């Protein structure tokens, strides 16, 4: 996933001449799979023991790629100023790591590694939310996609090629190693 992200970011900034903020969003969209239905599908098709790899993928995306995108978005923000690059990047990292989309997965990983038990009432509530989250996320994705005009251009073609052909080929190659 990070390799596809990096390749897409390079293509977007050098070949398609998008600014860093637009390139970061396109790269995240291309490099990060849609996990909304990943765990339930993997569990039902391949068994619960195969959900670990999907969980690791979600963690990598949540604690590496999403924060990286947030840092690029913050650093490219007009209000960030045109000062020296290092202080601007450090401010962007500081603003990005306190966002819930970054903190929540990190807290979840720490609690899991520390083998912290979730209270039964909270577990039941979160389980109910989790059961519906995948379907709601897919429905929302469909709503968002249906509201956007479809334009087939070089940018869309590169993203589709990277996500649908290059990414599976890289994954297959890595599995063989």
pLDDT given at position 78: 64
pLDDT given at position 84: 77
pLDDT given at position 155: 86
Per-residue pLDDT tens over the stretch 78-124? 665 567 778 888 888 888 889 988 888 888 889 989 999 989 999 99
pLDDT given at position 168: 87
Whether the per-residue pLDDT at 26 is higher than 80: the answer is yes
Query: Among 28-37, 74-83, 136-145, 160-169, whose mean pLDDT is lowest?
Result: 74-83
pLDDT given at position 24: 94
Long-range contact set of residues 2-9: C-beta below 8 Å, sequence gap at least 24: 2/31, 2/60, 2/64, 2/65, 3/170, 4/30, 4/31, 4/162, 4/163, 4/166, 4/167, 4/170, 5/30, 5/31, 5/32, 5/65, 5/68, 6/31, 7/162, 7/166, 8/158, 8/159, 8/162
| Residue 105 neighbours by CB under 8 Å, 6+ apart | 58, 59, 62, 63
CA 77 from centre of chain: 20
As a whole-number percent, the residues of the chain with pLDDT over 90 amount to 27
The Cβ-side half-sphere exposure at 28, using a 13 Å CA radius, reads: 20
As a whole-number percent, the residues of the chain with pLDDT over 70 amount to 90
**Higher per-residue confidence, 175 vs 165:** 165
H-only helix segments in the chain: 2-10, 20-31, 38-46, 51-60, 66-75, 85-97, 100-113, 120-146, 154-161, 167-176
Average pLDDT value for residue range 41-66? 77
Average pLDDT value for residue range 112-141? 86
**CA gyration radius for the chain?**
18
pLDDT given at position 49: 76
pTM, full prediction: 0.77
User: DSSP secondary-structure letter at 148?
Assistant: S
Tell me the pLDDT of the chain averaged across its residues: 84
């Amino acid at each position: 996933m990070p390799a596809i992200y990096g390749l897409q970011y390079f293509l977007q900034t050098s070949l398609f001449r998008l600014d860093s903020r637009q390139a970061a969003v396109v790269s995240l969209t291309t490099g990060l799979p849609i996990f909304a239905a990943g765990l339930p599908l993997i569990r039902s098709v391949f068994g619960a023991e195969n959900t670990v790899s999907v969980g690791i993928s979600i963690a990598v995306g949540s604690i590496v790629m999403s924060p990286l995108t947030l840092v690029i978005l913050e650093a490219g923000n007009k209000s960030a100023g045109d000062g020296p690059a290092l202080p601007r990047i450090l401010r962007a990292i500081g603003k990005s790591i306190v966002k819930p989309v970054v903190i929540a997965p990190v807290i979840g990983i720490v609690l899991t590694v520390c083998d912290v038990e979730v209270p039964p009432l909270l577990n039941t509530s979160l389980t109910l939310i989790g059961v519906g989250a995948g379907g709601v996320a897919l429905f929302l994705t469909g709503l968002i996609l249906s509201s956007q005009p479809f334009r087939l251009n070089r940018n869309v073609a590169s993203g589709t090629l990277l996500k649908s052909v290059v990414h599976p080929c890289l994954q297959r190659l890595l599995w063989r190693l």
